[in-house]
Amino acid sequence: MQEQLIDLSGDCARCFGLCCVALPFTASADFARDKPAGTPCPNLQDDHRCGIHAKLRVEDYTGCTVYDCFGAGQKVSQVTFGGRDWRAGPREDARRMFDVFPVVRQLHELLWYLNEALTLPAARPVHADLRRLLERTDALTRGTTDELAALDVPAHRQEVNVLLLRTSELVRAGMGGKKKNRRGADLMGARLKGADLRGASLRGAYLIAADLTGADLRGADLIGADLRDADLTGADLTGAFFLTQPQLNAARGSAGTRLPDSVTRPGHWTA
């Protein structure tokens, strides 16, 4: 039976620019300036849209291009706060909205992983457990502001992670051959051109600026892998799982890079 999965795409038209206000950022290679939490970004317009969205990379706001709320923005704006604009209400309401947003964002990220796990045929033995946890996580996102503020997110994340680990084992077992376990490995700047990483566990691996040109990453577990400036030119990521769009947006690639169906080719990649 086809799974009825939750839509976790960000919808800025239904959000009050929460990521541009609630979250802090520091002047760095990712952001042109400092901004404290709870303070609107100077590029945020009155209609809650970004004034430089089409040229974020040119204006040195690359960090914004690799961020995704997984739909948490519209959930908090339209469900938790019933469509009340933080600009129009009491300051206390705005503060509570900014506090709740990161909590719901973490829950929505977990929903994204649970969603993907339910699309993987090899994980069928744990689909029932995944479905129950997905439904419970979704229910948590619809809690009151007090319930969300009191939620132990790390404990819930750990419960989800147990099932995601089991999912990874089931999926990678079907790849055949010796499985490489590089979980949490420091591979920053590593020379992995043409490397055979089929079915590898790269969970939380640091692959910043790694050379993965032509690498075989079919069926690899990429949950939490840091792919900032990693070169995926010509790499094969067919069947790679738990790879999010923000991770891919942070990497470099080409038209020859083969991708799983769960993500789209970033517009800034070379032709």
Q: What is the pLDDT of residues 14-72, one digit of tens each?
A: 999 999 999 999 999 889 999 999 999 999 999 999 999 989 989 999 999 899 999 99
Give the separation between CA 51 and CA 59, rounded to whole angstroms: 11
Cβ contacts of residue 25 below 8 Å, gap of 6+? 31, 34, 35, 63
Query: What is the tens place of the pLDDT at every residue in 104-159?
Result: 999 999 999 999 999 999 999 999 999 999 999 999 999 999 999 999 999 999 99
pTM > 0.85: yes or no:
yes
Report residue 2's pLDDT band, with 50, 70 and 90 as the boundaries: very low
The CA angle 219-220-221, to the nearest 5 degrees, is: 120
Give the separation between CA 228 and CA 248, rounded to whole angstroms: 8
**Do 183 and 204 form a contact (C-beta atoms < 8 A)?**
yes
Report residue 177's pLDDT band, with 50, 70 and 90 as the boundaries: low
Count of beta carbons in the 10 Å neighbourhood of residue 195: 20
- Does residue 3 register a pLDDT over 90? no
